């Protein structure tokens, strides 16, 4: 059974240090004998990213049994990186000293970069579950693979889906404003937007890009500026807490765009968002990868999740849960093929991954020379009855899109 939390007593730290020294001295001897892959799952279970980190954590908690049913033998160490890159770095060192053969994480790009540096030094593979900063696969890390789109890919796929939504609903937006967090993820999305929007061929003008601090008490200043520009579309890169602030200030200032659309970010579909806003949470659209409801693995994961986590909805959690599960499955599959936990050998198997059956939509999970899976498409997911619902592409949709969104006033 996986540990629910990762704690270190002084005795265990000292023992871990000795074990770590032994592993460094003879990794091929000690690790090759393991019959189970020991994976440290580093996630922001506390701090300002806790909502999303805990969602990923719930996916990790149910993963071992589903993976066992698929023939993968894994043991998980659950570690809180506290939404802090420095903590992520030190906890990665400790996890490796405690015998972790592989790391999975860490939702946040800054924390994942810190983990990657340690894994590179210690020759321990890192499988990125969620983190979009391009530099993760652009800085030459040899012990990293990422089954998640880069910020640029998210934006590119998101812009494609925006055109598809316009075509499907026949709306005719003329202007838009792009609002984004000023953290690593938001700035990566901004860079992608700056590079890709001018050649995307969309039928509206991007008036301005506005950055905000996700730790701010409210977004009234930013919304006032947006209201003055009066765009038809508000394109956003948010997480749940600041998405709530955004909608509240937008309603308070009586600004009514045709749509609030994320070209590739969490926030608009989280349970926290629904609980805080009720009907005001409906009709916003996320353009992002999503779980494939027709996949047998997705169905098995949903059944396990629903049984183990009855207080949470898989429909809401499947983005974080699905990517976390697939990252763990990628690691388990590589271990099965490698037959050893030796770092270099396991890493070679990870780079040779060709996993056809998995949770998220898209083709087989494969990695290029940089360790990036480049074939992860996006869907259009619209909030309907406070539930994220696929509305495009048509072949995987369960509803048709509705735009322009109904006015704030009059929603029950």
Average pLDDT of the segment spanning 178-191: 87
Please give the model's pTM, rounded to 2 decimal places: 0.79
Q: Report the chain's mean pLDDT, rounded to a whole number.
A: 90
Tens of pLDDT along 369-383? 999 999 999 999 999
The rounded distance, in Å, linking the Cα atoms of 360 and 171 is 29
Per cent of the chain over pLDDT 70 is 92
Q: Is the pLDDT of residue 299 over 50?
A: yes
Q: Which residue has the tokens 């005719």?
A: 172
Which numeric CATH code is attached to 152-288+379-392?
A: 3.40.50.2300
The rounded distance, in Å, linking the Cα atoms of 117 and 141 is 8
Structural contact between residues 95 and 79, judged by C-beta atoms closer than 8 angstroms: yes
Q: Is the pLDDT of residue 22 over 80?
A: no
User: Which of the four pLDDT bands, split at 50, 70 and 90, describes residue 412?
Assistant: low
pLDDT for residue 13: 35
Cα 176 to the chain's mean position, in Å?
A: 25
The rounded distance, in Å, linking the Cα atoms of 319 and 344 is 30
How far, in Å, are 1, 304, 400 from residue 309 at the CA level? 16, 8, 29
Tens of pLDDT along 128-164? 999 988 899 999 999 999 999 988 888 889 999 999 9
Tens of pLDDT along 73-117? 999 999 999 999 999 999 999 999 999 999 999 998 999 999 999
pLDDT for residue 124: 98
Query: pLDDT: is 59 or 133 the higher one?
Result: 59
pLDDT for residue 187: 87
Task: Give Cβ neighbours of residue 252 (< 8 Å, ≥ 6 apart).
Answer: 220
DSSP per-residue letters across 247-310? HHHHHHTT---SEEEESS-SSTTSHHHHHHHGGGGTT-EEEE--B-TT-HHHHHHHHHHHHH-T
User: Which of the four pLDDT bands, split at 50, 70 and 90, describes residue 393?
Assistant: confident
Average pLDDT of the segment spanning 242-268: 93
126-128, strands of its sheet edge to edge:
74-80, 37-43, 102-105, 126-128, 144-146
State the DSSP H helix or E strand holding residue 30, giving kind and residue range, or none if neither.
helix 27-32
Residues 248, 254, 260, 262, CA torsion sign: negative
Domains 10-149+293-351 and 152-288+379-392 fall in the same CATH topology: yes
Q: Where are the domains of the chain?
A: 10-149+293-351, 152-288+379-392
- Do strands 379-384 and 285-288 pair parallel, antiparallel, or not at all (unpaired)? antiparallel
CATH architecture of 10-149+293-351: 3-Layer(aba) Sandwich (3.40)
| Nearest alpha carbon to residue 37 among 114, 124, 115 | 124
pLDDT for residue 14: 35
The rounded distance, in Å, linking the Cα atoms of 127 and 137 is 12
- CB-count burial class (<10 Å; 0-12, 13-18, 19+) for 319: buried
């Amino acid at each position: 059974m996986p540990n629910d939390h990762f704690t270190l007593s002084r005795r265990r730290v000292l023992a871990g240090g000795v074990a770590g020294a032994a592993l460094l001295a003879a990794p091929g001897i000690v690790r090759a004998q393991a019959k189970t892959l020991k994976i440290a799952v580093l996630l922001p279970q506390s701090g300002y990213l806790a909502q999303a980190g805990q969602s990923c954590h719930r996916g990790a908690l149910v993963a071992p049994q589903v993976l066992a049913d698929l023939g993968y033998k894994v043991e998980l160490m659950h570690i809180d990186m506290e939404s802090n890159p420095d903590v992520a770095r030190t906890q990665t060192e400790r996890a490796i000293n405690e015998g972790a053969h592989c790391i999975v994480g860490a939702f946040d790009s800054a924390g994942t970069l810190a983990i990657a540096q340690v894994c590179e030094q210690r020759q321990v593979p890192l499988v990125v579950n969620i983190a979009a900063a391009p530099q993760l696969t652009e800085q030459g890390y040899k012990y990293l693979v990422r089954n998640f789109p880069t910020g640029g890919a998210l934006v590119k796929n998101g812009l494609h889906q925006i055109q598809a939504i316009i075509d499907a609903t026949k709306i005719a937006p003329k202007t838009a404003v792009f609002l984004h967090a000023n953290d690593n993820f938001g700035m990566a999305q901004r860079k992608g937007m700056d590079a890709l929007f001018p050649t995307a061929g969309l039928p509206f003008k991007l008036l301005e890009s506005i950055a905000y601090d996700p730790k701010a008490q409210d977004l009234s200043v930013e919304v006032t500026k947006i209201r003055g520009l009066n765009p038809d579309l508000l394109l956003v890169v948010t997480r749940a807490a600041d998405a709530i602030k955004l909608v509240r200030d937008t309603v308070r200032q009586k600004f009514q765009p045709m749509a609030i659309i994320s070209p590739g970010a969490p926030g608009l579909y989280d349970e926290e968002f629904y609980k805080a806003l009720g009907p005001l949470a409906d009709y916003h659209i996320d353009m992002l990868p999503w779980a494939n409801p027709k996949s047998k693995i997705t169905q098995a994961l949903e059944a396990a999740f629903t049984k183990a986590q009855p207080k949470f909805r898989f429909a809401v959690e499947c983005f974080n849960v699905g990517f976390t599960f697939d990252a763990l499955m990628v690691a388990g599959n590589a271990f099965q093929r490698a037959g050893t936990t030796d770092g270099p050998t396991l890493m070679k198997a990870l780079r040779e991954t060709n996993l056809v059956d998995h949770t998220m939509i898209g083709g087989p999970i494969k990695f290029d020379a940089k360790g990036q899976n480049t074939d992860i498409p996006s869907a259009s997911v619209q909030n309907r009855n406070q539930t994220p619902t696929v509305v495009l592409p048509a072949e995987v949709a369960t509803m048709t899109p509705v735009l322009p969104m109904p006015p704030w006033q009059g929603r029950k």
